[in-house]
């Protein structure tokens, strides 16, 4: 099976712009979670989508949003970018069975200037 894929891998944006990141889960996985990884804050949970519905949400401002399509692919959008949004954004997919293993994609490195 192919692993979790994310596009683009690298992105440079300017403050105030918006950005959309994409994640394709492992075939058959219906749950996609998004994380922000920064050197100082570790892995911070953004939100999780399951069957096109947001099932869980972390403590991030409303500028961070996401969605999931019927084929389980997910997108994450960040509006009005701030310098502090520079980070590695990781998505992870799981089968969503109780205790199902979660596997990460390679991440998108976002730099906001």
Partner 1 sequence: GENVEQHPSTLSVQEGDSAVIKCTYSDSASNYFPWYKQELGKRPQLIIDIRSNVGEKKDQRIAVTLNKTAKHFSLHITETQPEDSAVYFCAASIGGQNFVFGPGTRLSVLP
Residues that bind partner 1 (CB under 8 A): 31, 33, 35, 42-43, 45, 48, 55-56, 90, 92, 94, 96-107
Looking at the Cβ atoms of 29 and 112, the one nearer to partner 1 is 29
Closest C-alpha among 26, 30, 21 to residue 72: 30
Report the SS3 class of residue 83.
Answer: helix
Closest C-alpha among 14, 22, 36, 10 to residue 82: 14
Looking at the Cβ atoms of 84 and 99, the one nearer to partner 1 is 99
Numbers of helices and strands, H then E, in the chain:
0, 11
CB of 69 to partner 1, least distance (A): 20
CB of 27 to partner 1, least distance (A): 17
CB of 15 to partner 1, least distance (A): 26
């Amino acid at each position: 099976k192919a692993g979790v894929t994310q596009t683009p891998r690298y992105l440079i944006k300017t403050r105030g712009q918006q950005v959309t990141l994409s994640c394709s889960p492992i075939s058959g996985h219906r749950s996609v979670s998004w994380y922000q990884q920064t050197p100082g804050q570790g892995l911070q949970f953004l939100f999780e989508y399951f069957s096109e519905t947001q099932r869980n949400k972390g403590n991030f401002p409303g500028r961070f949003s996401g969605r999931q399509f019927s084929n389980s692919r997910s997108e994450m959008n960040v509006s009005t970018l701030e310098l502090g949004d520079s980070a590695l954004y990781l998505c992870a997919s799981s089968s969503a069975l109780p205790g199902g293993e979660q596997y990460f994609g390679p991440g998108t490195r976002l730099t906001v200037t």
